[in-house]
C-alpha cells in the first residue's frame, strides 16, 4: 500500500509594495501575500496602503500583516482595516502579547522563530518554541540576523528537529534555486509546510527592496510545485 499523499506546499510572497507585484503573485498561484507594517523596514507600508493593495486580492488568497513589537491596539486596528488578514509577529512578543494583539482569538496569527545561522541552529529548541506558542496558526522559521527579518540568509535546515507538532512556514534566504531543497528537507518534519519568500523574488540591484520580479515569482512557484511532485513520484 502506498503512503498517503502529502498536502501541497502553500506559498506566501512577502514584502509587497506595488499593485503590479500583488497581481503577479496572484497570477503565479500564491496562497498568501505579505505586507510589512514595521516602519523601519525598507519594505514598510502603512495599514491603509496594505488595505488598498489587499483589496485587489481574489477570494481564498490571504493577506498577512507583519508586525515587530507593535502595540496591541495598533495591531488590532490594522487587522480590522485589512479585511481577512492574519498577523505575523516577528519581534520579541511573548505568547501572552501575541494573544492580546490578536484580540484574544478574534484574529489568527503566525509567530516567527529566529533560527541562528550555522551550527548554532542545532541549539534552538523548536519543539519547545512551538509548544509555547501553541495558539499560533503556524510557526514561521527565519534566519536570526541583525535586525528583524532573515536578511536574505538561510539557516541550516538539516539541523531542525525530526518531528515538530506544528504547521511550519519555511522562510529566510529562499530563492527559486533552493526552495525545492528546503521543502525536501523540512516537509516530513512537521504537520504541514508552507514557504515564504521576499528578497529571493525581487528585482536585482541596490535600492530594489520591495520591488518584485514577476518572472522570479513564477519560477519560485514552479519550483515549489516540482518539489511537491517529487514526493508523489
Residue 71 phi, psi dihedral angles, 5° rounding: -60, 135
Respond yes or no: is residue 14 known to be catalytic.
Answer: yes
Task: Check: CB of residue 150 under 8 Å from CB of residue 117.
Answer: no
Respond yes or no: is residue 142 known to be catalytic.
Answer: yes
Residue with cell 505568547: 95
Nearest to 79 by CA among 108, 41, 113, 56: 108
Task: Check: CB of residue 166 under 8 Å from CB of residue 180.
Answer: no
Q: Which residues face 110 on adjacent strands?
A: 88, 138
Cell numbers representing residue 94 in the block: 511573548
Q: Which of 21, 142, 196, 228 is catalytic?
A: 142
Q: How far apart are CA 167 and CA 130, in angstroms?
A: 9
Q: Would residue 136 be called left, alpha or beta, if left means φ above 0 and alpha means ψ between -120 and 50 degrees? A: beta
Residues belonging to the active site: 14, 142
Amino acid at each position: 500500500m502506498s503512503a498517503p499523499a502529502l498536502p501541497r506546499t502553500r506559498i506566501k510572497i512577502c514584502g509587497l509594495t506595488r499593485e503590479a507585484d500583488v497581481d503577479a503573485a496572484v497570477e503565479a498561484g500564491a496562497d498568501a501575500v505579505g505586507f510589512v507594517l514595521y516602519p523601519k523596514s525598507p519594505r514598510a507600508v502603512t495599514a491603509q496602503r496594505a488595505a488598498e493593495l489587499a483589496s485587489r486580492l481574489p477570494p481564498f488568497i490571504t493577506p498577512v500583516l507583519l508586525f515587530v513589537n507593535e502595540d496591541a491596539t495598533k495591531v488590532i486596528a490594522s487587522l480590522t482595516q485589512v479585511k481577512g488578514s492574519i498577523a505575523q509577529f516577528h519581534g520579541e512578543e511573548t505568547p501572552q502579547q501575541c494573544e492580546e494583539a490578536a484580540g484574544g482569538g478574534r484574529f489568527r496569527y503566525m509567530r516567527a522563530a529566529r533560527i541562528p545561522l550555522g551550527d548554532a541552529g542545532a541549539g534552538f529548541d523548536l519543539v519547545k518554541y512551538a509548544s509555547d506558542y501553541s495558539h499560533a496558526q503556524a510557526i514561521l522559521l527565519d534566519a536570526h540576523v541583525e535586525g528583524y527579518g532573515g536578511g536574505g540568509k538561510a539557516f541550516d535546515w538539516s539541523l531542525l528537529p525530526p518531528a515538530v507538532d506544528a504547521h511550519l512556514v519555511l522562510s529566510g534566504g529562499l530563492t527559486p534555486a533552493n526552495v525545492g531543497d528546503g521543502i525536501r528537507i523540512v516537509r516530513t518534519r512537521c504537520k504541514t509546510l508552507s514557504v515564504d519568500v521576499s528578497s529571493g523574488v525581487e528585482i536585482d540591484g541596490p535600492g530594489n527592496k520591495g520591488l518584485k520580479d514577476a518572472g522570479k515569482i513564477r519560477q519560485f512557484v514552479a519550483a515549489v510545485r516540482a518539489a511537491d511532485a517529487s514526493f508523489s513520484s
